Structure 1
Amino acid sequence: MKWLKRGAIVLVAVCVLAFAVLATWEPHFASAATPPATRVYKAEIIRDKFGVPHIYGKTDADAAFGVAMAHSQDDFFTLQDVIAMSRGRYGAIAGEDGAKVDYVYHLIDARGTAEREYPKLPADTRELFEAYAAGLNHYAQQHPGEVKLANLFPVSGMDVAAGFALRQPFFFGLDSVIGPLVSGDDLRREHGPDMPGFPRPPLESAPPAEAAPTAAKQAHNLVLPLGEDAEHLGSNAFAVAPEKSGGPTTLISNSHQPLRGGVAWYELVVESGEGWHFAGANFPGSPFPFLGHNETLGWTNTVNTPDMIDIYQLELDETGMRYRLDGEWRDLESRWVTLPVKVGPVVVPIRREVLRSVHGPVIRNDKGAFAVRYGGIGRLEQLDAYYRLNKAKSFAEWEGQIARLAIPSTNFIYADAAGNIAYVYNAAIPARPEGAKADWRSVLPGNRSDLIWNGAVDYAALPKITNPASGWLYNSNNAPFTAAGAGSDLAPDAFAPIMGIELKQTNRSWRAYKLLSAAAVLDRKALEAIKYDTGYEREGYVARLFDALDKLPAEGELAEARDLLASWDFNADGKGKADAIALLIIRDFMSADYGNKPFPDVAEKLAAARDHLMTHFGRLDPPMGELLRLRQGGLDLPLDGGSDTLRASTTWDVDDDGRLSLKHGDSFIQWVEWQPGKPVFSRSVQPFGSASTRPDSPHYNDQMRLFVEHKLKPVHFWRDDVLANASKTVTVTNAR
């Protein structure tokens, strides 16, 4: 029995040792970055009555240091997640979901892109990123108790740049390709029946290829979008010229992003002694705003979905590690990476192989090996382009930066103090050779080098409109061919189908186009009615849904639900008896339409909505405001708007009480006006507050009532204005 007792002791010791190793290996394995020697930075942070930071620095770099410090004061929790993603360590924080992001980080070589391209950026741009990293490091050093992950700090400007390289392709849908390829599912990348050309077929119709002898699904289920699902992306943007507004040039930014997390907006104003003065919003991990305005001009963005991605099926040899190209065999680049996966109190190391061909990253599944190539692959110039856009003083300067196509995608709506308005369908669309005999909408043969394009189409080839006769421009994630009204819109046949420009409309687009076209004057009152419109047009998926509902044979309780929905007035304003049941049903049909998924079963969705309402409310027709809520820190407020209305309440979490807690939709709203002979004036609002992860802050939820009541607060752009409305002023520096 002694040997048994000794064996048990040894087993316990081994288990303790294994636990200790799993609990401590990751920080040592992923040692902290060694940032370059840091200069001394100093910034002044003045917060207005809503806690919005106004950041002043002698130099642009000083201001960028202040941006990192202010954002850390408000949301260091989320910033750490973003930094962990930018270093391939998110799984050590978020477990399996984080490991999915880390796999993509390695797959698309985000770090390698940063290491190759970051040193090529202009010195002042790199200095901006180093200063921002210094701000993050300084805050982490001052607040060690808030740091989630050992050795996450210090970070360098290159680490921050790697985060940009990771996230940029997901705004045009790379996740919708990588996910199905990894899992071996069918691709649903078709742009719908209204797209020119032909949709990509499912992978089953791709030509057969020799299967690799290793596990085909080596990274099964290790893909995660770095934001919301593509079918839930949305935004509205409006620009109105003085002759149409009756006074000011007006720019309305109405981005729809998740209300929390790594791609949620953070509002700020920056100003430096080097001429950088900008009010707008950024995402965690950025030293500059991505949208907003300076003294003379401004812009905002909406997601566009051109065909930016090509897929190639590789022909492998019997080893599974070589692929044929132009009749010759080439070696696949292979490297093994370690993904940290937090499981309870320990972090488990998971090894995965990452493959690459000359086309781009390679994914193997049961159907073969597939390479992916996408617009902007391997580029990082957007870090410089956004910085220059912030400092542009004229339309010519601004357009000069857009024309670089350094920013891979997103529509831009522009306005300025001179009365100019413009729309640019910005996209680094691949310069596919038109003479090649290939179906670019299908899975391409990977054995032809002539199909491996380089670079993007010329800026001159993109859709764009400047100062239309209508006096207005808009985009609501719709085709660029409805943007300015009859007589001012572009013709689809003027653009090559090979570019893959979408032709789809959203309900928001149908509504905006109708309302803008009908308005004689687009003054502030008229624009407010359009921005906060909650109506639906019986078009597209909405028409298809209600046509099916009209034909639906139903009896008993389902018939009652059908009749209630059929009586709906197509307005999600919270006033009608059918608003709640319509809200519950429409989202899934919108999602299917946006994501090119099969049309849902109307009876099934109707029954689910009926059951939800009866279970939680005991009736089919509760007021919609009792169902749809904005919730944070003890505040629980009713909302209006639907999943695809101009007042957007897009997606939500279903809470235990059956209420829908908004998580994605109208987020940062900014309204900018340039009156002739007067300084720029702007207003804004966010759903919660400037410190949305700090429950003890007075700015945790202090904008919620404004948000639900369709109200805006002033943006204190000018220094004397912010000083007159200051609630707190601090000076931050990393000087010892």
Structure 2
Amino acid sequence: MRINILLRVYKRKLIQVLPLILSLILVLVVGSHTIAVPTKSTEILWDTYGVPHIYGKDNQSAFYAFGWSQMQSHGDLLLRLYGQARGRAAEYWGEEYTESDRWVLTTGIPERANSWYNAQNPSFRNYIDAFAAGINAYASQNPKLINDEVEVVLPIKPEDIMAHLHRVLNFTFVVNPEEVLELSKQKLQAGSNGWAIAPSHSASGKAMLLANPHLPWSDLFLWYEAQITAPGIDAYGATLVGIPVLAIAFNNNLGWTHTVDTYDGWDLYELTLADEGYRFDDKVRNFETKTLSLKVKRKDGSLQEQPLVVKNSIHGPVVVEKNGKALALRVAGLDRPGVLQQWWDMARSQNLNQFETALKRLQLSMFTVMYADKEGHIMHLFNGQVPVRSFGDFKYWQGIIPGNTSKTLWTKIHPYQDLPRVVDPKSGWLQNTNDPPWTTTFPTAINPDNYPPYIAPRFMDFRSQRSVRMLAEDDKISFDEMIADKHSTRMELADRILDDLIPAARKYGQELGQKAADVLEAWDRQANADSRGAVLFASWVKQMDWDRMFSKPWSEKSPRTTPDGLANPKVAVTTLEAVAAQVQKTYGALDVPWGKVFRLKLGNVDLPANGGDGNLGIFRALDFAPEANGQFQAVAGDSYVAAVEFSHPVRAQVLTSYGNATQPGSRHIGDQLQMFANKKLRPCWRSRSDILAHLEERKVF
């Protein structure tokens, strides 16, 4: 009797604890695998660097939480960007946004965004709806945390998200409005470094990935770091503020990064005007014309309404019309609205085959793809919606194209199999630093002769040469060495040219030239904060005529060792002496430390910088803007970093240079800048236990 009672009690207890036992077994078995177990609630776990780790009970809930988290970190910026994407920024905030609105409306961004949104499949459209709902819910529940000036944009509609995406990708990255409208001759400060290292070239025998985009440190170019975990996905990475999916990411099985490639997906056509229309194939065609309303807020708060006449030709909208000439803009990929789902599916992929299945949709307008995975595969894809052109090389299509003939009008893009691509090269490594795909590895794995000459130019700049040197000269690269290389500030150009410049200064230089030679000879050829001589050398390079500087120009036969030599040593020394005089006058010494002149500034933080212009052959690229006191402030360049080794478990370190927030009052504005200055990355917390050990805030929905 007693035994039967004991057995019944034991059985009852076993039934009670069995679910817990099974859960523990599941955790142990699943462990490090990328399987997101459904949760009963959705939550955001904010770590001590302001990175949101989102756990969604379903995908829709994860998108909602991601919208909420972006508002908490970047709410004012996000709303301002969405207002611009509507083409109503001048209406909201004044005449300084007039040109922005004119560009957005002329190129048809709001209208096309509506059609892009409606083209999403129903499930993914619900995800976009949820992201917008998360934004609006945060604003509704935290009105005092949102700047009154930007509240006018609320509520956000899903179409606003698509318009912002469209403006960022197609009409900022693919085609730079300031370049097209001749508002600025300066190229967009957009670049990147990307490495993929195979097991055969790594010290651990595991594949590694280096993600390191370089973009402006403001506006629509800011990176937002996050982790998203939901059924079928557990990905860590970053995206640009306002975009609802990760654009650069890794999971336990694979990862990728993007670099801005030498992609040409747009053209300006000069139209031959006739009879209020334009000539095309010996016939006069009429413009498709519509009149839009462009509203501008005056200083007194009143609105001035301006008619905006938009003329569309067979090529696209007329974006410049003056002195009897008209230029029409044609942009590839405007009929491909699926980039968000493609990025989402890339992050959900578990192997190379699944990843390429997503890539083959070619919904992403541009950007090189650098890929690595736990199976040891690495890949470089020159990704882009590349127009099929009937003739001409890359240089031809960089100019103004005759718009009076169908011979110049492209209508199709190249399919995936036409794009330059290499998987698992013999070298064991791949790199891209915004150079053409032909120089991704050595020995050369992609032959440019096998592709149309308009696909990409043929060149290799000094930053690319520096990148290749670091990879090629280290047979087995460790994880720590990859991070150290990532922070390299050595100037490839200095290594190339000082052996000519210093002897020339000794031979032709006066007293100041001799002193300059002494400084350059003692210099470590780096752009570290304490490097003395870097300011002098960089100033000299800036004053030299780059096209006439070298005695031996860049050669495709010697891509890694040219250009070289001084074309005119006497002129070089004369320039050096003039620059030396200016440096001494401005800074009081020829050997002024780099970090005294070049600074990292955010809010109250003011630190000596390291890194510099990629044209100098510096891998750690930073762009600076001059200040009144002779100093320069970092405004673009090295931004988000992820160094990943596909070991078991995955090893990763990360950094977002300027911090993971811009919202006033956030403690995460500039909180990573000191690490940036110290050439340090931080641990990447991905497991729930690590996140909870560094928890700053929890939000449960």
The alignment partner of 2:149 has SS state of: coil
Describe the superposition over 1:610-648 as per-residue Cα deviations: whole angstroms up to 9, x where unpaired: 546633x33332211111221223222222112115543
Task: Specify the alignment match of 1:68 in structure 2.
Answer: 67
8 Å CA contact 1:172–1:308 kept in 2: the answer is: no
For residue 572 of structure 1, report the CA deviation from its aligned partner.
1.7
State how far apart, in whole Å, the 1-side matches of 2:516 and 2:297 are: 45
User: Is the contact between residue 113 and residue 379 of structure 1 (CA under 8 Å) also seen in structure 2?
Assistant: no
- Tell me, yes or no, if structure 1 residue 660 matches structure 2 residue 632: yes
Q: Mean Cα displacement is larger for which, 604-613 or 541-550?
A: 541-550
Alignment-derived partner of residue 465 in structure 2: 510
What's the secondary structure of 2:642's corresponding residue?
Answer: strand
1:426 aligned counterpart, secondary structure: coil
* CA shift digits 1:284-328 (9 cap, x unpaired): 11111100212211100110122322232222223x3x1223333
**Contact 2:489–2:612 (CA<8 Å) still a contact in 1?**
yes
Shift of 1:455: 2.4
Q: For residue 324 of structure 1, what is the amino acid of its counterpart?
A: R
In the superposition, relative to structure 1, how do residues 422 and 149 fare at CA in structure 2: closer, same or farther (>3 Å)? same
Deviation of 1:267 after TM superposition, in Å, equals 0.6
Distance in 1, Cα, partners of 2:600 & 2:294: 36
The match for 1:365 is: 322
> SS in structure 2 opposite 1:256?
strand
The alpha-carbon deviation at position 428 of structure 1 amounts to 0.9
Q: CA deviation at 1:245?
A: 0.8
Match status 1:478 vs 2:449:
no
Matched with 1:190 is: none
Q: Counterparts of 1:64-213 in structure 2 under 5 Å?
A: 64-92=63-91, 95-145=94-144, 146=146, 147-149=148-150, 151-170=152-171, 172=173, 174-175=175-176, 179=178, 182-183=181-182
480 and 67 in structure 1: CA distance in 2 versus 1, 3 angstrom threshold: same
Q: Secondary structure at the match of 1:690?
A: coil
The one-letter amino acid of 1:521's match is K
1:452-478 CA distance string (max 9 Å, x none): 222211211111110111111111111
Q: Cα gap change, 1:661/1:498 in structure 2, threshold over 3 Å: closer, same or farther?
A: closer
Tell me how far 1:282 sits from its aligned partner: 0.8
Relative to 1, partners in 2 of residues 1:682 and 1:439: Cα closer, same or farther, differing over 3 Å?
Answer: closer
What's the counterpart of residue 612 of structure 2?
A: 642
Separation of aligned partners in 2, 1:180 and 1:717: 41
Could you say what secondary structure the match of 1:230 adopts?
Answer: coil
Q: 2:292 maps to what in 1?
A: 337
The partner residue of 1:721 within 682, 690, 699 is 690
Partner of 2:585: 614
Shift of 1:83: 0.7
The residue aligned with 2:312 is 356
2:235 to 278, 290, 309: 278
Post-superposition Cα deviations, 1:402-421, rounded to whole Å, max 9, x if no partner, equal 12221111111001111111
Q: In the alignment, which residue of structure 1 is the partner of 2:673? A: 704
Question: 3-state DSSP class of the match of 2:153?
Answer: coil
The AA in structure 1 aligned to 2:682 is K
Work out the CA distance in 1 between the residues paired with 2:636 and 2:83.
Answer: 23
Q: Give the 3-state SS of the residue equivalent to 2:152 in structure 1.
A: coil
Supply the distance in 1 between the matched residues of 2:314 and 2:297 (Cα, whole angstroms). 34
- Find the aligned partners of 1:99 and 1:492 in 2 and give their Cα distance: 43
Contact 2:270 2:402 in 1 (8 A): yes
One-letter amino acid matched to 1:279: Y
Q: Is 1:685 matched up with 2:655?
A: yes
Residues 97 and 552 (structure 1), Cα distance of their counterparts in 2 relative to 1, 3 Å cut: farther
CA distance in 2, matches of 1:257, 1:545: 34
Contact 1:409 1:428 in 2 (8 A): yes
Equivalent of 2:642 in 656, 670, 682: 670
Aligned mate of 1:374, from 306, 331, 350: 331
C-alpha spacing 1:43/1:87, structure 2 compared with 1 (3 Å): farther
Secondary structure at the aligned position of 1:167 is classed as helix
**How far apart are the structure 1 equivalents of 2:589 and 2:544?**
23
Structure 1 residue 63 displacement after superposition: 1.0
Residues 54 and 269 in structure 1, CA contact (< 8 A), matched pair in contact too: yes
Q: What does residue 448 of structure 2 align with?
A: 492
Q: Which residue of structure 2 lines up, in the alignment, with residue 249 of structure 1? A: 207
Partner SS, residue 665 of structure 1: strand
What is the deviation of 1:101? 1.9
1:629 partnered with 2:584: no
**Which ranges in structure 2 are unaligned for 5 or more consecutive residues?**
1-39, 549-566
Q: Which residue type is aligned with residue 492 of structure 1? A: P
Q: Is the 8 A contact 1:172 1:306 kept in 2?
A: no
Q: CA deviation at 1:356?
A: 1.1
Q: How far apart, CA to CA, are the structure 2 residues paired with 1:552 and 1:360?
A: 59
* Residue 227 (structure 2) pairs with residue 258 (structure 1): no
Q: Structure 1 CA distance, aligned partners of 2:241 and 2:249?
A: 16
1:78-115 superposed Cα distances (whole Å, 9 cap, x missing partner): 11221112111233466455222222111211112212
Shift of 1:348: 4.7
Contact 1:587-1:650 at 8 Å conserved across structures: no
| Cα distance, 1:587–1:50 mapped onto 2, change above 3 Å | farther
Q: 1:647 to 1:42 in 2, by over 3 A?
A: farther
SS in 2 for 1:663: strand
2:368 — aligned with what? 411
| 3-state SS, counterpart of residue 636 of structure 1 | strand
Q: TM-score, normalised by structure 1?
A: 0.78
Verify: 1:456 aligned to 2:455, yes or no. no
User: Quick one: which amino acid aligns to residue 623 of structure 1?
Assistant: P
Q: For residues 720 and 61 of structure 1, what CA distance do their matches in structure 2 show?
A: 25
Alignment match, 1:30: none
Which runs of no fewer than 5 residues in structure 1 stay unpaired? 1-40, 184-220, 594-598
Q: Is 1:558–1:610's contact at 8 Å kept on the other side of the alignment?
A: no
Other-structure match for 1:402:
359
The structure with the largest alpha-carbon Rg is 2
Tell me the residue number matched to 1:269.
227
- Contact persistence 2:209–2:372 (CA under 8 A): yes
Which amino acid letter does the alignment assign opposite residue 635 of structure 1?
A: V
Contact persistence 1:530–1:646 (CA under 8 A): no
**C-alpha distance in structure 2 between counterparts of 1:288 and 1:604, whole Å:** 50
Task: Write out aligned runs for 1:222-237 (5 A).
Answer: 230=187, 232-237=189-194
Letter in 2 for 1:280: G
Aligned length: 632
Helix, strand or coil at the partner of 2:45: strand
Give, in whole Å, the separation in 2 of the partners of 1:481 and 1:526. Answer: 25
| SS of equivalent residue, structure 2 residue 326 | strand
